[in-house]
Amino acid sequence: MAKQITSRQENYSQWYNDLVVKAGLAENSAVRGCMVIKPWGYAIWEKMQRQLDKMFKETGHENAYFPLFIPKSFLSKEAEHVEGFAKECAVVTHHRLMTNPDGPGVVVDPSAKLEEELVVRPTSETIIWNTYKNWISSYRDLPILVNQWANVVRWEMRTRLFLRTAEFLWQEGHTAHATQAEAIAETEKMVGVYADFARNYMALPVIVGHKTESERFAGALDTLCIEAMMQDGKALQAGTSHFLGQNFAKAFDVKYQSKDGALEYVWATSWGVSTRLMGALIMAHGDDNGLVLPPNLAPIQVVMVPIFNKPEQLDAVLEKMRSIKAGLDKLGISVKIDDRENVRSGFKFAEWELKGVPVRLAIGPRDLENNTVEVARRDTLTKESLSIDGIEDYVKNLLDEIEKNIYAKALAFRDEHIIKVDTWEDFKTQIEKGGFLLCHWDGTAETEAKIQEETKATIRCIPIDSCVCEEEGKCVYSGKPSHRRVVFARAY
C-alpha cells in the first residue's frame, strides 16, 4: 500500500493536513474558513464532549442555551471586549432574500434590512450577562454555574482545519458569584478540570499558568490557561479560564442584594475549550502512519480484522471474533469487527492505523488451529501472537498501558524540549529549534512585544507551579531584574 501521508520530517504542516483529511477527520467546505467535521472526527469530538460534560456536571454546572445572535450594541458595552471581538465577525444585516428581478437566482431584499445589525456570536459574555441581569436580584440567586455547548464564528483570515477556523464548536462556561474570592476559586477550579481532562483523557501533558496582560481574554482581569507542546516544538493553547471581575456586571448593570442588604455588582468567570483540542490531539501523538488515539478517547478501541483466502474460512474466523467481541463488550471496551469482503486485509490494516485505533486483533485460519490471535499496538507499531484464552483481560490491561505510554512519550518529548535560557543570543538560537524556553522577563508589555517582533515567540504563560520557576534573575531581553521565569514559545 502506498504511503498515504507526507512524513513529519518532510513537511510537518503538510503532514498535519494530510492526516486530518485522509483519516476522515475534517475537510474544508465550500464556505471560506468553515470546515466539515467528518464522522470519524466528530466521533472523537463526541467522546471529548461526553467526558468534559460529565466533569462539568460533577463540579456543579448545568447546561443552557443562549441565542446565536448578539445585537451589535451589546458588543460595545464592555470597552475591551469590543476591541477584541468586533473586528472580525459575521454580521447579519437582512432577514430576507427575493427572486432576482434582473436575472437568475436570488438577491438580498433591500426592504428587509434589520433595524440593528446582529453579530453571529464570537463568544457569549454579552448576551449572557444581559440575560443574567434578569436572573439575579439577591444573594440567594447566586452562584449561577452554567455551561453552553455551541458553535461560534470568528472571521479569521488564515484558517487551518481544527486549529483556526471561522466557525468552530466549543463549550463556554459562564458563572456568576457573590464574591471575588469565589469567582477566582471557580476560575482556578475550571482550569484544573481542563488540565485533568488533557492529562487523563487526551494523554496530553500541559503546563497551567497565567496569561500576561497582553495575552488575556478581551475583558478579563486574569486568564488562566493550559499550554501543550506539539511535536514540532510549538505551543498550543488548549483551554482558557477567565476571571472577569465585575466588568460584565458593570457593563450590563447586574447587581445583587447581599445578606446585609447592600446592592453589589456580581463577579464573573468564563471558560472554554473548542474543537481546537482535536488539533492538539493529532499533533501531539500522531506519527507518519497517521493518527494515534489515546484509548480513553477512541470511538473504536479495538478493531478486529479477519484473515482469509477462501470465503468458507471467513465464517469460522468471524464466529471466533464474535465470541471475543462479546467478552470485550462486557468489559466496556468498544470493538468493531471489520468484515468488509470487498477490501483486502492489508488495506484494512493501513486504514485503521491511519485512523489511530489503539489495538488491532487479526485472526486467520492458522490462528484458529493454534488458538492464537495477533495483537498489534498502534502506539508502538509492535505486534505479537498470543493465546486466545484470556485475551479479553489482556486487551483491557493493554489499553490502560497504551494510554499511559502515550502520555509518557508526550511528557518525555516535552520535557526534553523545555530549556532554561539566560542570554538573548541563546534565546534567538534556541527559539529556531522549537520547544519551550524558560526565561526571566522584566514584566513589561514593551519587552514582550519586542521579543515577539524579533522572534515570533510569545509568553505562553506564567506557570502557577511556582517551585519550578520562582527564582531571582535578569530579563533575557532587557537585563532588568526578574523574580521568576516564564514560558516563551512560538505557538499555533
Q: Which is nearer to a copy of itself, 340 or 366 (CB)?
A: 340
Q: How far is the CB of 87 from a copy of itself (least distance, A)?
A: 6
Q: Which is nearer to a copy of itself, 344 or 483 (CB)?
A: 344
Q: Which residues ranging from 312 to 371 are in contact with a copy of itself (CB under 8 A)?
A: 342
Strand partners, 336: 303
Q: How far is CA 469 from CA 29, 364, 425, 439, 441, in A?
A: 44, 56, 21, 9, 12
H helices of 201-344, in order, are: 247-251, 276-285, 311-330
Q: Which is nearer to a copy of itself, 146 or 195 (CB)?
A: 146
Q: How far is the CB of 162 from a copy of itself (least distance, A)?
A: 12
One symbol per residue from 14 to 53: x for binding a copy of itself (CB under 8 A), - otherwise; what is it?
-------------x-xxx--xxxxxx--xx--x-------
Which range touches a copy of itself (CB under 8 A), out of 101-109, 187-195, 347-355, 414-422? Answer: 101-109
Among 9, 58, 105, 341, binds a copy of itself (CB under 8 A): 105
160 makes contact with a copy of itself (CB under 8 A)? no
Q: Which is nearer to a copy of itself, 50 or 433 (CB)?
A: 50
Residues 6+ apart with CB under 8 A from 383: 374, 375, 376, 377
DSSP secondary structure letter of residue 164: B
Strand partners, 208: 226
Q: How far is the CB of 33 from a copy of itself (least distance, A)?
A: 9
How far apart CA 41 and CA 112 sit, in angstroms, is: 39
Q: Which is nearer to a copy of itself, 74 or 436 (CB)?
A: 74
Residues 6+ apart with CB under 8 A from 264: 178, 255, 256, 257, 258
Q: Which residues ranging from 246 to 265 are in contact with a copy of itself (CB under 8 A)?
A: none
Number of residues that bind a copy of itself (CB under 8 A): 64
CA nearest neighbour of 52 among 188, 282, 331, 239: 239
Which string of b and e fits 457-481 if b means at least 16 CB within 10 Å?
A: bbbbbbbeeeeebeeebbbbbbeee
CA nearest neighbour of 336 among 320, 325, 348: 325
Q: How far is the CB of 102 from a copy of itself (least distance, A)?
A: 14
Among 18, 125, 167, 392, binds a copy of itself (CB under 8 A): 167
Q: How far is the CB of 128 from a copy of itself (least distance, A)?
A: 9
CA nearest neighbour of 353 among 397, 402, 303, 399: 303
Among 8, 47, 52, 72, binds a copy of itself (CB under 8 A): 72
70 makes contact with a copy of itself (CB under 8 A)? yes
68 makes contact with a copy of itself (CB under 8 A)? yes
**For the chain, first and last CA: distance in Å?**
33
Q: Which positions touch a copy of itself (CB under 8 A)? A: 27, 29-31, 34-39, 42-43, 46, 62-76, 82, 86-98, 104-108, 117-120, 127, 130-131, 134, 140, 146, 150-151, 153, 155, 167, 169, 342
